[in-house]
Chains A and B, each alone.
Chain A
Amino acid sequence: MERFVYPFSAIVGQDKMKLALVLNAIHPAIGGVLIRGEKGTGKSTAVRALARLLPELTVVADCLYRCDPDASESLCSDCQDRLARGETLPRARRRMRVVELPINASEDRVVGAIDIEAAIKSGERRFEPGVLAEANRNILYVDEVNLLDDHLVDVLLDAAAMGVNVVEREGISIWHPARFILVGTMNPEEGDLRPQLLDRFGLTVDVEGIKDIGQRVQIVERREEWESHPAEFSERFAEQDAEIGTRIAEAIVRFPHVVMPAGILRALAELNVSLQVDGHRADLVGRKASQALAAYRGVPEVGVPEVNEVAEMVLAHRVKASGRRELGTIAQNLPSASRASRS
């Protein structure tokens, strides 16, 4: 693990990307974020920086999958067995980590495989967990997700959608929880993801290089400062980072209590129907993302501004090419729609 991570609050610009990451941190069920854009726009820096801010998790200390001892319904089968035997699960606190999936990863590394050592030494058939196991309750970061072999993307997004990894291969038959914040990046110039797979990502943000000269200078300056004096630099932003961390922690607590007015939900559904978005994920993600935003802002009730702000992230990859032009007018559509539904 790196000793110094570039501070989150020191990242210049790219507010949308940062917001999308924060929303997922507040409510992982949003379903991850796909960051589309050029190289060198601070994508991986932001992800790593975010991980450091997140509150610690309570885990079962010796569980391979870091199960949550308080969520009995999503325990792995090992932990369930232990509970059934009347054991108390040992607790520990862990930081969230960024688990990286390299694009040349093989399928057995992703889903897990038979443990070769155990098989040779003792003839035991044991499961060696893969990246999906490691990613449980962490952040899974896939750079260039569009270049990943098709079947791996299938596996990955299947697991992400179900929150479970089912393994039936190499003589192994097992399932384990795989709930993670999925962050993918891609450069659209190199080919698209299939719509089916795009849809599985909760949010998308398009990032581009910053055009503002002042900001560009600032980026270079900060980077140089950080590289030469990482300790001082981190110190300088520690307070701001801590503040964001606290806000996220508070938002997590607040999230379930944020009121979602029926009129807003209705407006959301109407909007998605009118844009002819396939499936219901747009509704579901829109609800969660706007609620998370309200929690982050400390607003007690979700309003039109929150929905507006997340609408583009929710819809950008779900609206068909023909509908893309209409997307620009959401801001105008939404208030009238919600007013109409209230009346």
Chain B
Amino acid sequence: MPFELTLPFTAIVGQEQMKRALMLNAVDPAIGGVLIRGDRGTAKSSAVRALARLLPDYDAVEGCPYHCDPAIPSRYCDECRRRASAPTLPSPASGGGNRLPIVRLPMRIIDLPINASEDRLVGSIDIEAAVRAGTRRFQPGVLAEANRNLLYVDEVNLLDDHLVDVLLDAAAMGVNVVEREGMSVVHPSHFILVGTMNPEEGELRPQLLDRFGLCVDVVTLTDIDERLRVMELERDFLQSPRTVHEASAEREARLRDLLQAASGRLTRVSVPEAIRTLIARLCLDGSVAGHRADLVVARAARAICALRGGPAVELPDVLEALELALAHRRREPLTDKQAQVQELASRAAEQLAQIQAATPSETAPSVRSEVTQQEGASGGESNEGWTTSESRESPTNEAIEPESDAVIQLRTFTVKKLDPSTKSETKRGRYVRSSQTERVTDVAFDATVRAAAPHQLSRRQAAPDSTNQLQLESQDLRQKVRERKTGNLIVFVGDAAASMDAEQRMLATKGAILSLLRHAYVRRDKVALVAFSGRNARVVLRPTSSVDLAERRLERLSIGGTTPLTHGLMTGLKLIKTERLRDPQVYPLLVLISDGRGNISLFGEEPLLEAQRMAGQIKQEGVRAMVIDSTRDFGSQPGYPRNRVTSLYGAYAFNVCGDLAERLGGRYYGLFDLSQSSIVDSVQREMLRTGSA
């Protein structure tokens, strides 16, 4: 990324918390990165890119593609390990040992675009070397570059699922394990993970969420003066980026020095025992999942303390760290942020007083030195991102594996897969990786070349006349695996007949459709609406993902007289069939909302019999369905029998809707025991149930 195209960090207006979180990571990369959530257009990406200029330099082994830290042999890549231990020619400078050549590198921001392919993320065989020289050489990927650097994922919530898996694996282990194309490589991959996202576009998987040390929510500035400054800054920057950079050069340099001084001080900042206990307690009280929070809070508090130049972590440091570290780890979101933060502060102060009272001797200065010593040890380890002179001298830093318990925690965590994306059989969609199949219809060229690469030398010897450098054979061919968000199609078949009498019923139905639509938007689902009343059924809303459009159509939806139930079901089915023609991979769900009292015949038969037959047909077509009964209220009638009623004219209590649900092969709900949000839940559940089957 070209240097001049990004704003200087210090020029960014407002958003102090975001800047603070980024700065803390520059002070101590072991904090584990930051996730920035917020509205579109609030300088999220700009701030991250601007941070590049403030990051420290580090020592690395010269010529190593992973920039291994010469001071931490336990984290060497294979090559560095070999170089270090091999009885190489004794060089006069190294004084007998195998000291590796050292080079000073700036810490960088490595971009992971969301459309990156897997081979670039993990690395793959070097095509050029393979084809030209016939050697099997590893071409390092983004994870290699990211080692000891900052890995930035913009729109991280849109990252492909399998890339997320790879990323999580690497982040958890600190290594990248590559087993592909006949290569087997393991290399270190410790990185600061920084992501930005707009929550409107969908949530992040909890596993990935927990990977980010800190999290900040940014909002649009509402202060007029600040907004003016933003506009002026943009104007100046567009006119001449150089001038803006020159104008803030001094401030940037000062901040950079400040950050570097703070990170140098880091190991000397002590975390008193009382504070540690407090952190553990607060995390426990704060309904936080996992142990990572404790670690992150402690580290962030220490970085905050180092930044202000204090000798030991104090309560305000902890409180600030807590806010940054817990935002995304609370099981329940804060309802009234300001009040709760204040309450937390006072509770923390109380607890600290208690702890200190309970162990008066611990806080005495005589004990402090011991604590400091401990801290020094773990402080060295936490400087994993780069080496300061202190940590290089500290031999203890290899023994500590701070992440291990957190890893276990993470592994036992299972997440239900909500993602609607499916492997696409057609040639549409994003090419995510390749596979070996019998009949290749969609050639993954890069993968094919990589597969053929190792055999080039021998094949060329076998066919010396060929003019092509690359000799392909049929077994090299690889198929592209494409992925496309197909999304679901939810077709509501709604009763607009007068028998839906009470207006509030119609309101409840409309509300349910709208709230579903809002969910559908995030999941890229489509929603359609068929209404039936009078003597026919109409498609009120063609399949759409537009909330606005649906809202307008729903407002206009009127209520008619009779209940042509069969018409409704048939129109719904027709609609689904048409959509299937357009896109064979669409995943339809028909939701019938009605009282089930069909009284208009379509084929000249008994209306209810017709409806039942239509329901059977829908099931035969393989369409999933569910029925929401607008007359039933299970809440007030506990234990209402759901059993199948065989006799049509049998009892007064014949449950038409229950019967239809049975014939449709779907679930059956009552409208009034479902609040709007639980209708959404049940529909979502329905999708998952059949989706996973």
Q: Which residues of A contact B (CB under 8 A)?
A: 29, 73-75, 106-108, 111, 114, 116, 119-125, 149-151, 154-155, 158, 161-164, 166-173, 175, 188-192, 194-196, 199-200, 256, 260, 262, 265-266, 268-270, 272-273, 277-284, 287-288, 321
Check if B400 is an interface residue, CB within 8 A of chain A. no
B120 engages A169 (CB within 8 Å)? yes
Q: Is B672 an interface residue (CB 8 A)?
A: no
Tell me whether A168 and B238 are in contact (CB under 8 A): no
Enumerate chain A residues within 8 angstroms of B545, measured Cβ to Cβ: 191-192
Point out the residues of chain A lying under 8 angstroms from B1, CB to CB.
Answer: 164, 166, 175
Q: Are A283 and B5 in contact (CB under 8 A)?
A: no
Chain A positions within 8 Å of B221 at CB level: 280
List residues of chain A with CB within 8 A of the CB of B120: 168-173
Q: A151-B430, A192-B549, A199-B40 are in contact. Are A123 and B117 (CB under 8 A)?
A: no
The reply to whether the CB of B220 lies closer than 8 angstroms to some CB of chain A is yes
Q: Is the CB of A171 within 8 A of B111?
A: no
Q: How far is the CA of A287 from the CA of B242 in the complex (A)?
A: 21
B469, A168: Cβ atoms closer than 8 Å: no
Q: What is the CA–CA distance of A170 and B141 in the complex, to the nearest angstrom?
A: 11
Interface pair A155/B115, CB less than 8 Å apart: yes
CB-CB under 8 A from A280, the residues of chain B are: 41-43, 220-221, 227, 230
Pairwise interchain contact A111-B127, C-beta atoms closer than 8 A: no
* B40 pairs with A122, CB closer than 8 A: no
**Known A-B contacts A123-B469, A191-B544, A279-B40; A260 and B230 likewise in contact (beta carbons under 8 Å):** no
B113 touches A162 (CB 8 A): no
Contact between chains at B446 and A196 (CB < 8 Å):
no
User: A168-B121, A194-B201, A283-B230 are known contacts; what are 15 more A-B pairs with Cβ within 8 Å?
Assistant: A114-B449, A119-B127, A123-B127, A123-B131, A150-B485, A154-B158, A164-B2, A164-B5, A190-B544, A191-B526, A195-B40, A270-B224, A272-B227, A279-B42, A283-B227
State whether A194 and B521 are in contact (beta carbons under 8 Å apart), knowing that A122-B469, A269-B224 are contacts in the complex.
yes
| 10 smallest beta-carbon distances between A and B, as pairs | A279-B41, A123-B131, A73-B4, A169-B117, A170-B446, A269-B227, A192-B546, A281-B41, A278-B39, A168-B116
Residues in B with CB closer than 8 Å to A124 are 128
- Given A114-B445, A163-B5, does the pair A171, B230 have CB atoms closer than 8 Å? no
Contact partner of A279 among B139, B220, B526, CB < 8 A?
B220
> Could you say which residues of chain B place their CB within 8 Å of the CB of A122?
469
The distance from the CB of A36 to the nearest CB of chain B, in whole angstroms, is 12
B450 (CB) vs chain A CBs: closest residue? A171
**Complex Cα spacing A273 to B113, Å:** 32
**B548–A108 CB distance below 8 A:** no
* Interface residue B200 (Cβ < 8 Å from any Cβ of A): yes
**Most chain B Cβ neighbours within 10 Å, of A114, A173, A190, A321:** A173
A154-B40 CB under 8 A given contacts A74-B5, A168-B121, A171-B127: no
Please give the number of chain B residues whose Cβ is less than 8 angstroms from any Cβ of chain A in the complex: 76
B428 within 8 A of A: yes
B112 surroundings in chain A (CB, below 8 A) = 168
Q: Would you call A191 and B450 a contact (CB within 8 A)? A: no
- Provide the bound-state CA to CA distance between A192 and B142, in Å: 34
Whether A108 touches B431, Cβ cut-off 8 Å, given contacts A149-B484, A169-B116, A256-B239, is yes
Question: Interface majority SS on A: helix, strand, loop or mixed?
Answer: helix
Q: A123-B470, A273-B222 given as contacts; is B201 within 8 A of A196 (CB)?
A: yes
Convert B456-496 into 0s and 1s, putting 1 for each residue whose CB lies closer than 8 angstroms to a CB of A.
10000000000111101000000000001100000000000
Name B83-134 residues within 8 Å CB distance of A: 111-117, 119-121, 124, 127-128, 130-132
Check if B686 is an interface residue, CB within 8 A of chain A: no
Q: Which residues of B contact A108 (CB under 8 A)?
A: 431
| A269 pairs with B231, CB closer than 8 A | yes
> Does the CB pair B128–A278 fall under 8 Å?
no
Q: Is B234 an interface residue (CB 8 A)?
A: yes
Query: Are B121 and A125 touching (Cβ within 8 A)?
Result: no
Which residues of B, 216-261, contact A by the 8 Å Cβ criterion?
220-222, 224, 227-228, 230-232, 234-235, 238-239, 241-242
Cα–Cα distance between A277 and B41 once the two chains are bound (Å) = 10
Chain B residues with CB below 8 A from A166, complex form: 1, 111, 113
Kindly list chain A residues whose C-beta atoms are within 8 Å of the C-beta of B198: 196
23 contacts between A and B (CB under 8 A): A29-B238, A73-B2, A74-B5, A111-B115, A119-B445, A123-B131, A123-B132, A125-B128, A150-B485, A151-B115, A164-B5, A169-B117, A169-B120, A169-B431, A170-B445, A189-B549, A192-B544, A196-B198, A196-B200, A200-B40, A279-B42, A279-B220, A287-B235
How far apart are A247's CB and chain B's nearest CB, in angstroms?
22
**B69 contacts the other chain (CB 8 A):** no
A7, B235: Cα distance in complex, Å: 33
Q: Output the nearest chain A residue to B123 by Cβ-Cβ distance.
A: A171
Taken together as a complex, chains A and B put the C-alpha atoms of A172 and B127 apart, in Å, by 10
CB distance from A251 to the nearest CB of B (A): 16
Question: Is B323 interfacial (CB-CB < 8 Å)?
Answer: no
Most buried by B among A120, A172, A190, A277: A120
Assembled-state Cα–Cα distance A188/B549 (Å): 9
For the complex, is B429 an interface residue (Cβ under 8 Å from A)? yes
Q: Which residues of B contact A74 (CB under 8 A)?
A: 2, 4-5
Nearest chain-B residue to A286 (Cβ)?
B231
Q: How far is the CA of A161 from the CA of B49 in the complex (A)?
A: 14
Give the shortest distance, in Å, between B117 (CB) and chain A (any CB): 4
